[in-house]
Structure 1
């Protein structure tokens, strides 16, 4: 049985420079967005930075806090979710970020969300039906953003480290098995 080689402890010249992670975070107008708690989304960039550059405890706490901000309760997304997804994919695809399992889990939660679509379907034809239009758009945009990063997830799924590859393969399966949102 072949064993995976040990993980490198240092960076080679070919590896992505850690300082180049999350450069596109400044291109998002975080102050104009709301997170899943209803708060301004300005707290998301520091959480992403803590995931990218923090020690184990710092990064794990930041992932939990970020999950609350962009996918509350594991199934409620917000307008800040879709702009955050490419940054999560960047982190998940980076050789320097060790929290791939947690990041893939969060991406899976985002992809599966249908809370707003379900609520809209239950009120269809009633007075409150139009009130869910914006939220269903958030879900559709978030799911599309995860799907747009499929090549990153496929890259992680081909990892020689099963602890990374297995959750990535599960996320790919979720992406293949989740039905599209119904037409409204």
Structure 2
């Protein structure tokens, strides 16, 4: 990775699962394409990354929380061409609640199959919210698509629904 994503190599991606329950080894190359590819390559990489860390726009995986700081870093970098798309992905992650809803709906012996996933959602949401200063900086961007996406994410952070009780 380059100077922007120097912390990526410190994450044990092979020990984490993505939103499709596969080893998360595909995440670092996508982050690199976002940071160092051209505009078209970066946009495609954001779309592919969304499938790995926030499938269908509402299902996070174990690796999602580990990926969020890098998304925030990229969104705050001056030369990344797809900041609005990154912010939209972060908003989707912030709004997730699928695992909490499923775990709350399933009571009894089957509820043990949802023990880890609600924790993934909490960790992912907390990681997004920790990046609030970066998002606030982008909200005043002279690029309207970036400013609007940042403002939408800030609104989502302000209006988060609490997770259902388990």
Determine the structure 2 residue equivalent to 1:119.
102
Deviation at 1:160, TM superposition (A): 2.2
> Is the counterpart of residue 179 in structure 1 residue 161 in structure 2?
yes
Q: Is the 8 A contact 2:33 2:42 kept in 1?
A: yes
Mapped partners of 1:31, 1:131: distance in 2: 22
Q: Is the 8 A contact 2:104 2:165 kept in 1?
A: no
Structure 1: where are the runs of 5+ without partners? 1-17
Give TM-score scaled by structure 2 length: 0.96
Mapped partners of 2:116, 2:22: distance in 1: 17
Determine the structure 1 residue equivalent to 2:39.
56
Partner SS for 2:115: helix
Deviation at 1:134, TM superposition (A): 0.2
Determine the structure 1 residue equivalent to 2:14.
31
> How many residue pairs end up in the alignment?
166
> Is the counterpart of residue 138 in structure 1 residue 120 in structure 2?
yes
Determine the structure 2 residue equivalent to 1:108.
91
Greater CA drift, 37-46 or 85-94 = 37-46
Deviation at 1:20, TM superposition (A): 1.5
The structure 1 segments of at least 4 consecutive aligned residues displaced by more than 4 Å after TM superposition are none
Deviation at 1:145, TM superposition (A): 0.4
Identify the match of residue 92 of structure 1 among 75, 100, 104: 75
Q: RMSD of the TM alignment (CA)?
A: 1.3
Q: Is the 8 A contact 2:42 2:81 kept in 1?
A: no
> Is the counterpart of residue 152 in structure 1 residue 105 in structure 2?
no
Deviation at 1:89, TM superposition (A): 0.3
Mapped partners of 1:95, 1:56: distance in 2: 14
Partner SS for 2:163: coil
